[in-house]
């Protein structure tokens, strides 16, 4: 780092926040207790996450062609849409031209929520999934908050099947009550409860099931429940409870 930069940081009063350490022959700034914009790591980039299994792994419940289109085309377009919206908002900050702020805020909400829910959805499924969760904490919480696993399953299935238009059925942790709730999402971002942490999501957009199930959404939701990767849901619950402390 140059002397000029060091002086600039010192002038901004940032010297108190960290210290200079030698890394090879170059002195580098090491953040200590007070984070600065300079010392923070860069935000993560939004990119299409790998599926984690083969496109045909969930056959016959979820077919290979649907999985290929869904992951490679649809999810990829949400990632691109999110990055585009964020770039346009950054541009607005530079130019001070906020005429399209409403449009790109909505685009970021739509594509960002789509990206997040798909990323959870792929991991929520496994060829060895289905049945009931073996994880005791998850099983106990489903029983406490829904009465029984069967009651949860019926509620989840009814909510997912009845989403108006395109959307999702979601099992989430509601952090204020620290309880599990079933949500419907319209599109990706409408009808959320702020702060809820999605644990198990089923995509009920037609692109998720139409090739194999046509208009029979309930049959598709049943098939989805045959591939639920409950260990993944249990891990998500564990992390969500830590966040909701
Ligand atoms: Mn989808």
pLDDT in tens, 82-133: 999 999 999 999 999 999 999 999 999 999 999 999 999 999 999 999 999 9
In this prediction, residue 10 carries a pLDDT of 47
CA 86 to ligand 1 center in whole angstroms: 21
Q: Residue 46 and residue 32: Cα distance in Å, rounded?
A: 28
In this prediction, residue 21 carries a pLDDT of 64
Span 26-53, pLDDT tens digits:
666 566 667 788 888 888 789 999 999 9
Confidence of residue 9 (pLDDT cuts 50, 70, 90): very low
CA 188 to ligand 1 center in whole angstroms: 9
Long-range pairs for 172-177 at CB < 8 Å and ≥24 separation? 172/196, 172/197, 172/198, 172/199, 173/197, 173/199, 173/237, 173/240, 173/241, 173/244, 175/240, 175/243, 175/244
Specify the 3-state DSSP secondary structure of 96: coil
CA 89 to ligand 1 center in whole angstroms: 25
CA 31 to ligand 1 center in whole angstroms: 41
Question: Model's pTM, two decimal places?
Answer: 0.83
Report whether pLDDT(168) > 60.
yes
CA 170 to ligand 1 center in whole angstroms: 13
Confidence of residue 212 (pLDDT cuts 50, 70, 90): very high
CA 115 to ligand 1 center in whole angstroms: 9
CA 118 to ligand 1 center in whole angstroms: 6
Q: Which tokens sit at 220?
A: 């598709």
Report whether pLDDT(195) > 90.
no
**All residues at 6 or more sequence positions from 105 whose CB lies less than 8 Å from its CB, including other chains:** 85, 89
């Amino acid at each position: 780092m140059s002397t000029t930069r060091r002086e600039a940081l010192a002038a901004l009063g940032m010297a108190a926040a960290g210290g200079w350490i030698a890394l090879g022959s170059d002195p580098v700034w090491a953040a200590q207790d007070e984070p600065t914009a300079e010392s923070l790591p860069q935000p993560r980039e939004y990119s299409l996450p790998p599926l984690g299994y083969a496109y045909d792994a969930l056959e016959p419940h979820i077919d290979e062609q649907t999985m290929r289109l869904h992951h490679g085309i649809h999810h990829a377009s949400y990632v691109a849409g999110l990055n585009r919206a964020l770039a346009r908002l950054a541009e607005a900050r530079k130019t001070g031209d906020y005429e399209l702020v409403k449009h790109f805020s909505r685009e970021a909400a739509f594509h960002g929520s789509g990206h997040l829910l798909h990323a959870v959805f792929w991991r929520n499924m496994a060829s060895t999934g289905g049945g009931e969760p073996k994880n005791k904490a998850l099983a106990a919480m489903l029983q406490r908050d829904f009465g029984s696993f069967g009651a949860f399953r019926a509620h989840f299935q009814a909510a997912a099947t009845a989403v108006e238009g395109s959307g999702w059925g979601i099992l989430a942790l509601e952090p204020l009550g620290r309880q599990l709730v079933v949500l419907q999402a319209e599109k990706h971002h409408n009808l959320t409860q702020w702060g809820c942490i999605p644990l198990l999501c089923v995509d009920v957009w037609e692109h998720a099931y139409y090739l194999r199930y046509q208009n029979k959404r309930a049959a598709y939701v049943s098939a989805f429940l045959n591939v639920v990767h409950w260990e993944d849901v249990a891990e998500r619950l564990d992390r969500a409870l830590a966040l909701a402390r």
